Structure 1
Amino acid sequence: MGGTEDTTTCAIAGGGPAGMMLGLILARAGVDVVVLEKHDDFLRDFRGDTVHPSTLDVLDELGVGARFARLPQRRVSRMAVVTDAERLVVADLSRLRGRHPYIALVPQWDFLDFLAEEAARFPGFTLKMGCEVLDASGGRLRYRCAQGVDRTLRAALVVVANGRNSTLRAGFPLHEIGAPMDVAWFALPKEPDDPDELFLRVSRGRLVAMIDRGTHWQCGYVVRKGMNVDDPHVVGENVAELIPWLADRARALETTSTLRVAVNRLKRWYRPGLLCLGDAAHAMSPIGGVGINLAIQDAVAAANRLARPLRDGTLDVADLAAVQRRRMPATVLVQGFQRAAQGRLVAPTLAGAPPKLPPPRVMARLRGPLARLVAYGGRPEHVRV
């Protein structure tokens, strides 16, 4: 492997929500942790900026919820689908009985900076920015920092939390579910008389997701898988036709960023000394905005199970298998919901057919279960260490 070698107890590849939350909880539990993030800062164009009740509960359990609440944020409780003929509320979190009956819309760079600041309070936590992980094997992780020098880090456990395109994910058997769409993301200015909500505008052949960010709309124009969406003027014209009160702003659109949607999961999340979490274990569709929160639930479950054996030096592959066993049912449940939404709503609409939405009476009965699924992801985890 070459280069200079350091040691730690747990090395985490990726400073996203899963990696930072795992690093924070493990360091709080007395485990030495090094998080390696390939970018120099968190100031990037994130698409997933929704912090759901399950994550807000975890922040309370860590004693940092009040500080998080002081971050600039929007709070929304309703998710709606707007068709050519009607507006349907598909999830209403305000009816939930938890401490946080809403979704907090917080720029992800602010959220990650917040987690980094909280984790830095513990002496066992180290965050290395601008350090890209290259490979990992035999209890060693090789990485390269801005200076171009390869270094190695020996660890009892390497956690792969650097996304669905991680090179460390290679070689793990994959269950591919697939997605019929890609998404062109962009921002449009918000004006005072605009509605305050989170909704999906649906019309034959076209869909656009609208997320109220206070100062602007975060928008996702949904297209058929593999379709070229590089022309922002085409996207803007379609959005203008779908949402007339946005027409002037949409027609002035100049840039978009394309997300190639994938829905899949590893059949096995681990091998001796290595564990995959978050998108590295299960790539999620943007439907429901639940990806970040499932990743954080993975991190909480992993910390609960692994903190003691990591401290005691008794970590075994059975501990890693236990993390997957605990988190796999929630992953399957949420991906099943996303697959159903793709089949009943997204695919028919993009094919030019009407969406297969439940009748209003059935939708009213589903509103509560869907709100709980969006809020808590099927199996909410609580900090135990």
Structure 2
Amino acid sequence: MDETERRDCVIAGAGPAGVVLGYLLARAGLRVTVLEKHADFLRDFRGDTIHPSTLTLLGELGLREKFLDLPVTRLSRLDAVIEGQRMTLVDFGVLRGPDDFLVLAPQWEFLNFLAQEAERLPGFELLMSTEVTGLLHPDSASGGVAAETVLGLRARGPSGELQRRATLTVAADGRESALRSPAGLTPQEIGVPIDVLWFSLPQPVDPPPSTLGYLSSAGMVLTIDRGTTYQSGLIIAKGQFDQLQHAGLEALRARLTRAAPVLGHVVDTLTDWDQIKLLSVQMNRLPRWHRPGFIAIGDAAHAMSPMFGVGVNYAIQDAVALAHAITPALQRGVAPSATLARVQARRARPVRMMQGIQARGHRLIARSTQGQRVLPASAVSLIRLAAPVLRRLTARIIGVGLLPEHVPREAARGTDPKNVPKTSRN
């Protein structure tokens, strides 16, 4: 392909938001390029939860059963042990079928699946090992076009420098987006008092029911069931990692065992700090997501906490909302700023609400990092009594979301490339 060929949309970042957006636009007959700086999708401890709302979207696209044929784990209920008392806090089984469960799947499997489906479409281009380096703006001497207008992007790939000009440029390249600053967009940070240490542990010989986590004055440990292993996490105070390393692995293993005694027989598998990944928990959002010819979505627009595992699904919801809103305009060769503003207004509402819920949860969880009881005994008893009602509410908020998006019926016509309309524009 000629590197100067104009595209309808160019997307930085082949994470869930970028690949889903590229796929949806290419299904509509548009010409899309997605650029990813890594050579593959293999990364440890990324968001691996596919929530019921995303399963619904896959169903609307005719991809649900094909995706579920992959080796994935299905969870209908999520237990937690709070101050020593086990309770079911989420029951996806109360949701309308068939999407009444959560799927755990390595994110690279999910992205490979979507990318393979997208590459069947004639207008889709995926460039791996290609790092975005900047934006294209109009020549200041050309006149008639505002200097802040974005006309595409620059990148560096295996063959050297390249450009992709496009009607719309999208930053879907995560919380460390390379395009926000060049676009003149600066996120507002939301203070977070915790970080997470991620690691993998084998399941005990006689494991308990699937348990999301253990929370008490001894700490908080996550134990996400991955079949024969746990994707595990230890919540620590913000900036405490160096102190933990200085204390040594034996002290870390003892801390894990105090917080989650069920792990006592498997923590000895942690023998090297290289097995442990620090996730610096961050929450922020852009006051403005867009410029003429440009918009940020997903973590590039609003970094979410890992709490409830909703980040991937909110990013996908952004992509669906943007594709729905902008496709008719891109088919005419334009990307109106008013349309981009409406996308931000729609998606910013559920983001603000969820980040508010997460912030309150952080303050509660942070007590465990200080050796304090997280909840008084009366509150734990009240939660247990209210659990039947609570688990229905949490299933909706976590599994479906606060403003779920749907694929318009006219866009959900099957995945056969023969059904994809061809564009006649040059």
Give the TM-score, by structure 1 length. Answer: 0.94
Aligned to 1:262: 282
Does the residue aligned with 1:48 lie in a helix, a strand or coil? coil
Task: Report the Cα distance in structure 1 between the residues aligned to 2:204 and 2:100, rounded to whole angstroms.
Answer: 26
Given that residues 221 and 235 in structure 1 are in contact (C-alpha distance below 8 angstroms), is that contact kept between their aligned partners in structure 2? no
1:332 counterpart (340, 352, 373): 352
Alignment of 1:224-373 (within 5 A): 224-228=237-241, 229-230=244-245, 231-253=248-270, 254=272, 255-343=275-363, 345-356=364-375, 359-360=382-383, 361-373=385-397
* Counterpart check, 1:126 vs 2:103: no
Instruction: Give the greater-gyration-radius structure (CA).
Output: 2
- Counterpart residue type for residue 372 of structure 2: A
Alignment of 1:172-211 (within 5 A): 172-191=185-204, 193-211=206-224
Alignment of 1:52-201 (within 5 A): 52-138=51-137, 139-147=151-159, 149-170=160-181, 171-191=184-204, 193-201=206-214
The superposition leaves residues 184-218 of structure 1 with CA deviations (integer Å, 9 ceiling, x where unpaired) of 00001125531341421112151111100012110
Task: Report the Cα distance in structure 2 between the residues aligned to 1:98 and 1:180, rounded to whole angstroms.
Answer: 38
Cα displacement (A) at 1:47: 2.6
Task: Report the Cα distance in structure 1 between the residues aligned to 2:5 and 2:211, rounded to whole angstroms.
Answer: 46
Task: Report the Cα distance in structure 1 between the residues aligned to 2:346 and 2:53, rounded to whole angstroms.
Answer: 16
Cα displacement (A) at 1:58: 0.5
Task: Report the Cα distance in structure 2 between the residues aligned to 1:218 and 1:259, rounded to whole angstroms.
Answer: 13
Does the residue aligned with 2:33 lie in a helix, a strand or coil? strand
Does the residue aligned with 1:283 lie in a helix, a strand or coil? coil
Tell which deviates more after alignment, 201-210 or 369-378. 201-210
Task: Report the Cα distance in structure 1 between the residues aligned to 2:228 and 2:48, rounded to whole angstroms.
Answer: 14
Task: Report the Cα distance in structure 1 between the residues aligned to 2:57 and 2:123, rounded to whole angstroms.
Answer: 21
Percent sequence identity over aligned pairs: 44
RMSD after superposition = 1.7
The superposition leaves residues 254-297 of structure 1 with CA deviations (integer Å, 9 ceiling, x where unpaired) of 31000000011111111111110100011011110000000001
- Counterpart residue type for residue 355 of structure 2: Q
Does the residue aligned with 1:162 lie in a helix, a strand or coil? coil
The superposition leaves residues 216-270 of structure 1 with CA deviations (integer Å, 9 ceiling, x where unpaired) of 1100111000111545444333212323332232122031000000011111111
Task: Report the Cα distance in structure 1 between the residues aligned to 2:8 and 2:45, rounded to whole angstroms.
Answer: 30
The superposition leaves residues 28-82 of structure 1 with CA deviations (integer Å, 9 ceiling, x where unpaired) of 1111100000000112213310000010000011111110010101111222321
The superposition leaves residues 77-132 of structure 1 with CA deviations (integer Å, 9 ceiling, x where unpaired) of 22232133311322211111242111100111100000001111110001000001
User: For the structure 1 residues 207 and 26, does the alpha-carbon distance in structure 2 shift closer, same or farther, using more than 3 Å as the test?
Assistant: same
Task: Report the Cα distance in structure 2 between the residues aligned to 1:377 and 1:331, rounded to whole angstroms.
Answer: 10
- Counterpart residue type for residue 405 of structure 2: E
Does the residue aligned with 2:349 lie in a helix, a strand or coil? helix
Task: Report the Cα distance in structure 1 between the residues aligned to 2:394 and 2:117, rounded to whole angstroms.
Answer: 32
Tell which deviates more after alignment, 312-321 or 11-20. 312-321
The superposition leaves residues 4-36 of structure 1 with CA deviations (integer Å, 9 ceiling, x where unpaired) of 534211000000000001111110111110000
Tell which deviates more after alignment, 10-19 or 346-355. 346-355
The superposition leaves residues 164-202 of structure 1 with CA deviations (integer Å, 9 ceiling, x where unpaired) of 111212232423222110000000112553134142111
Matched length = 381
Task: Report the Cα distance in structure 2 between the residues aligned to 1:39 and 1:190, rounded to whole angstroms.
Answer: 31
Task: Report the Cα distance in structure 1 between the residues aligned to 2:307 and 2:224, rounded to whole angstroms.
Answer: 12
Given that residues 196 and 212 in structure 1 are in contact (C-alpha distance below 8 angstroms), is that contact kept between their aligned partners in structure 2? no
Task: Report the Cα distance in structure 1 between the residues aligned to 2:240 and 2:180, rounded to whole angstroms.
Answer: 27
The superposition leaves residues 317-376 of structure 1 with CA deviations (integer Å, 9 ceiling, x where unpaired) of 111111111111111111111112112x21222222211356223444332111101011
Given that residues 47 and 185 in structure 1 are in contact (C-alpha distance below 8 angstroms), is that contact kept between their aligned partners in structure 2? no
Given that residues 201 and 269 in structure 2 are in contact (C-alpha distance below 8 angstroms), is that contact kept between their aligned partners in structure 1? no
Task: Report the Cα distance in structure 2 between the residues aligned to 1:204 and 1:191, rounded to whole angstroms.
Answer: 23
Tell which deviates more after alignment, 167-176 or 357-366. 357-366
- Counterpart residue type for residue 253 of structure 2: G
Does the residue aligned with 1:42 lie in a helix, a strand or coil? coil
Aligned to 2:406: 382
Task: Report the Cα distance in structure 2 between the residues aligned to 1:117 and 1:191, rounded to whole angstroms.
Answer: 36
